[in-house]
């Protein structure tokens, strides 16, 4: 439910703020030239903050409420002085070195995750006091954002914009072990729901989202399930990318297994399974290996880190990091990374 703070009701003549589907960045192999405003790519949850008459909603990019998940961010947004507003940004949990870490964000119910500072890095302002800004150039939106968040509470941060050459910022991102950079074309408008190429992303880290299409039964002392079968979309086809069998503790195995029960399916969702033969590296899925697999409707998304892609398009040494409740399965594609 929306959260209300003690603020004066806005005049009915002011246009209300409402959810806007977030703009998307296009994955690229290189960002070059001086036509870009550069930002850090945060390893967190994309979130759209909508404020109306003291009521706050924090939406994921697939329009799911994040209010219950991040109450401290809601409290911070309530303190912003405005009639209404829409901000776009990323919720991130920081490790001991101040780096955004998705795994800490996922494990906030653990002792380690509970102690991690939680911040909302805001990088765009789409609406303020009854006026839409989506058609304004990015420079004007950022100037308005800087003014709007000048006295924001500490948990609400402006995502900094860097003027360096892209390769200089990339070198610093590598040095600090961050995920990558985002480039936004100068003069560009905000295009809700689009991946037009005026926003681009360059990944350094080898991790990305995958769709969960099934799981294997547990073996030995393992409980609930053995490994997840994951993949990504290539146009309308879900392509198998490998099995993920590490990154789970006993509690996570039980929690995921309970969630999977709602998505069980008699049908294999992967267009390229079974594989004709087991690949040289990575985990294959021949017809014999699939006999005991429990299939799932391809609706759940997870984050996985890995060492590399094999020539056969299979993940090597994949590790489960957590579920991605903020992304639609159909939006999951194979990302372009540095290695």
Q: Which residue has the tokens 């609400």?
A: 156
Is the preceding peptide bond at 274 cis, omega within 30 degrees of 0? Answer: yes
The residue among 60, 72, 105 whose CA lies nearest residue 3 is: 72
Helices of type H across the chain: 71-78, 102-106, 111-114, 138-148, 166-176, 250-260
| Degrees, nearest 5: CA angle 122-43-202 | 90
d(CA 110, CA 79): 28
Contact criterion met (CB below 8 Å) for 127 and 133: yes
* Residues with catalytic roles: 41
Strand partners, 287: none
d(CA 91, CA 80): 17
In this structure, which long-range contacts are made by residues 94-103, counting pairs with CB atoms below 8 Å and at least 24 apart in sequence?
A: 94/118, 94/119, 99/43, 99/176, 99/177, 99/178, 100/42, 100/43, 100/44, 100/178, 100/179, 101/43, 102/43, 102/44, 102/207, 102/303, 102/321, 102/322, 103/321, 103/322
Q: Which residue has the tokens 């936004």?
A: 184
Contact criterion met (CB below 8 Å) for 67 and 200: no
């Amino acid at each position: 439910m929306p959260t209300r703070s003690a603020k004066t009701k806005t005049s009915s003549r002011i246009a209300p703020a409402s959810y806007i589907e977030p703009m998307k960045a296009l994955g690229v192999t290189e960002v070059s030239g001086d036509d870009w405003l550069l930002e850090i790519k945060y390893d967190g949850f994309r979130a759209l903050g909508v404020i109306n008459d003291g009521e706050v909603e924090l939406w994921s990019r697939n329009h799911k409420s994040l209010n219950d998940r991040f109450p401290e961010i809601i409290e911070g947004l309530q303190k912003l002085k405005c009639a209404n507003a829409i901000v776009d940004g990323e919720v991130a949990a920081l490790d001991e070195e101040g780096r955004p870490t998705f795994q800490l964000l996922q494990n906030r119910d653990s002792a380690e995750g509970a102690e991690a500072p939680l911040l909302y890095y805001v990088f765009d302002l789409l609406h303020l006091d009854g006026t839409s800004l989506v058609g304004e150039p990015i420079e004007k939106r950022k100037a308005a954002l800087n003014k709007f968040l000048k006295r924001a509470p500490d948990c609400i941060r402006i995502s900094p914009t860097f003027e360096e050459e892209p390769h200089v910022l990339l070198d610093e991102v590598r040095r600090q072990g961050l995920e990558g950079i985002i480039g936004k074309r100068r003069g560009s408008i905000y295009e809700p729901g689009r991946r037009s190429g005026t926003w681009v992303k360059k990944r350094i880290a080898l991790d990305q989202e995958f769709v969960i299409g099934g799981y294997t039964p547990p073996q030995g002392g393992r409980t609930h399930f053995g490994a997840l079968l994951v993949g990504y979309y290539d146009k309308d086809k879900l392509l198998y990318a490998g099995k993920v069998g590490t990154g789970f503790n006993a509690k996570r195995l039980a929690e995921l297994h309970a969630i999977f029960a709602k998505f069980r399916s008699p049908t294999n969702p992967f267009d390229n399974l079974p594989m004709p033969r087991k690949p040289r590296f990575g985990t294959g899925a021949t017809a014999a290996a699939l006999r005991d697999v429990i299939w799932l409707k391809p609706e759940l998304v997870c984050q996985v880190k890995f060492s590399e892609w094999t020539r056969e398009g299979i993940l090597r040494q994949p590790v489960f990091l957590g579920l991605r409740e903020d992304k639609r399965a159909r939006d999951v594609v194979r990302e372009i990374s540095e290695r």
